[in-house]
Amino acid sequence: MAILSGSCRFGLWNVHVSWQDDLVYRVRFAREGIPGPVPEEILRYCAGRPSDLSTLRSVATEGETTFARIYRAVREVPCGETVTYGEVAWMVGTAPRAVGAAMARNPTPLVVPCHRVVAKTGIGGFSPDLAIKEALLAMERQRDVCMPEKGEVNR
DNA sequence: TCCCGCTCTGAGT
DNA sequence: ACTCAGAGCGGGA
Half-sphere exposure of A35 (CA within 13 A, CB side): 0
- Residue span of the structural domain in which A94 resides: 60-142
Pick out residues 59-98 of chain A having their CB under 7 A from any atom of nucleic acid strand B. 84-86, 95-98
Q: Which residues contact A95 (CB under 8 A, 6 or more apart)?
A: A89
With respect to residue A149, please indicate whether it lies within any of the assigned structural domains: no
Among candidate residues A108, A86, A104, the one with its CA nearest the CA of residue A95: A86
pLDDT in tens, A16-54: 999 999 999 999 999 999 999 999 999 999 999 999 999
Among candidate residues A117, A112, A127, A79, the one with its CA nearest the CA of residue A97: A117
Same domain, A100 and A44: no
Q: What percentage of chain A exceeds 90 in pLDDT?
A: 91
- Least confident interval from A11-20, A23-32, A126-135, A138-147: A138-147
Count of C-beta atoms within a 10 Å radius of residue A142:
10
Catalytic residues of A: 114
pLDDT band at A147; cut points 50, 70, 90: confident
| Mean pLDDT to the nearest integer, A75-97 | 96
Is the pLDDT assigned to residue A153 strictly greater than 70?
no
DSSP states of A103-133: HHT-SSBTTB-GGGEE-SSS----SS-HHHH
First to last CA, chain A: 43
| Mean pLDDT to the nearest integer, A105-126 | 96
Q: What percentage of chain A exceeds 70 in pLDDT?
A: 95
pLDDT of residue A149: 65
Question: What is the number of structural domains in chain A?
Answer: 2
d(CA A65, CA A145): 31
Question: H or E stretch including A74?
Answer: helix A66-75
Q: How far is the CA of A123 from the C1' of C3 (A)?
A: 20
Same domain, A65 and A28: no
Same domain, A76 and A129: yes
Is the pLDDT assigned to residue A150 strictly greater than 70?
no
With respect to residue A35, please indicate whether it lies within any of the assigned structural domains: yes
Give the CATH number, domain containing residue A105: 1.10.10.10
Same domain, A8 and A34: yes
pLDDT of residue A152: 55
As a whole number, the mean pLDDT across chain A is 94
Pick out residues 77-96 of chain A having their CB under 7 A from any atom of nucleic acid strand C. 93-95
Same domain, A94 and A27: no
Q: Is A84 exposed, middle or buried (0-12, 13-18, 19+ CB in 10 A)?
A: middle
pLDDT of residue A155: 45
Same domain, A75 and A112: yes
Residue A93 near residue A87, CB atoms below 8 Å: no
Same domain, A65 and A51: no
